[in-house]
Structure 1
Amino acid sequence: MIGWLLVTLGVAFGSAIIPLINVEVFLLGLVASRPDLHWLALGAAVAVGQIAGKLLYFLAARGSIKLPKFLHDRLHRERPPSPRRDRWRARTKRIRGWLDALRERCHRHPHWMAGTYGVSAVVGLPPFMATSVLAGLVRMRLATFLTAGLAGRWVRFSLLAASPTLFTGVFHF
């Protein structure tokens, strides 16, 4: 059992760093094949792994850790004008404006950011990765980031881990 919890923690950490890894699918597959694993323990393992991974994004956005040189140079280099990039900017102008307004509101109202981040941790909307970065940009307290994130992710993934047994009618407390 401990081995599967550690594997789950590792997959959750990887999914927090690399968005192409889907921890939800992994968790549902694990619960379907190993019904002896407790849903609360699985939810906790995923929550810890996810928050550990998102903590890196949070700290980088906050400026507490530095990006590797090749990433920093790639993000901040001057690019020549391109019609393709201009079309993309025109298409995403409204979204960028919304994100800028959201960022400004979060700077003015830190408690509002904590609520948005907490809801995102449970529901996934707005995207959890984006709110993790935004929390770092608005300099949310680390304790708030960890508490709201762990609680929200634990609820989300515990419910997800319990869902197959809910549908089969065999629920273990």
Structure 2
Amino acid sequence: MLAAIGLTSTAFGVSILSALLPLISIELFLVGAVLKGPELPWWLLALVVTVGQIGGKLLHYFAARGVLRLPRLLRRTSERKSHGRWSRRLKRFRERCHRRPVWTNGMLLFSAATSLPPYAATAVTAGWARIPLPAFILTGLAGRFARFTALILLPGTLTVWF
């Protein structure tokens, strides 16, 4: 029981860190945890890691949306923020995302499940484009849960076949 609680809290912490720092791989952690011996039901491990990942990605989303204040080194200057072709392109991109919610949600779901494009970049772009928070969270939870479920179940499936 204590080992299961330890694995759950470790998995949650690693998932948040991997959402924030691209050098940490939650995928490698999951495969290693499963190969070591499943102490948790697969769905619980997938759920814990999914919630941690979305929690971490929400920081990217809120930072891009301007809700979180970034350190001075990472902030844009006010001159670059309000002038030029990038602001016009951003406005057009936001409008397209809001006019095509099915396409936008499909891309969010696809990225969450496959990491193509990288989900960290998608989280920033979603915040930047002001995608509604419920859409970002729901597509992220569904896609990430599918991704982590596949990663957790894959080693067991391969051992049955080989």
Q: TM-score, normalised by structure 2?
A: 0.82
Count of aligned pairs: 149
Deviation string for 1:106-152 (max 9, x for gaps)? 35423322110111111111111111111111111111111110111
Q: Is the 2:31–2:151 Cα contact (8 Å) retained in structure 1? A: yes
Three-state SS of the structure 1 residue aligned to 2:67 is coil
Q: Which residue of 1 aligns with 2:29?
A: 26
8 Å Cα contact 1:17/1:53 also seen in 2: yes
Mapped partners of 1:56, 1:32: distance in 2: 31
Instruction: Name whichever of 18-27 and 63-72 sits farther off.
Output: 63-72
Q: Which residue of 1 aligns with 2:58?
A: 55
Superposed CA RMSD: 2.5
2:70 aligns with 67
Cα displacement string for residues 20-59 of structure 1 (whole angstroms, at most 9, x for unaligned residues): 0011111101110022322111111111111000000001
In the TM superposition, 1:138-153 aligns within 5 A as 138-153=129-144
For residue 44 of structure 1, the aligned residue among 44, 47, 65 is 47
How far 1:156 sits from its partner (Å)? Answer: 0.5
The answer for the alignment partner of 2:106 in structure 1 is: 115
Give identity over the alignment, percent. 44
1:89 alignment counterpart: none
Q: Which one-letter code corresponds to 1:156 in the other structure?
A: R
- Aligned: 1:155 with 2:146: yes
Runs (5+) with no aligned partner, structure 2: 80-88
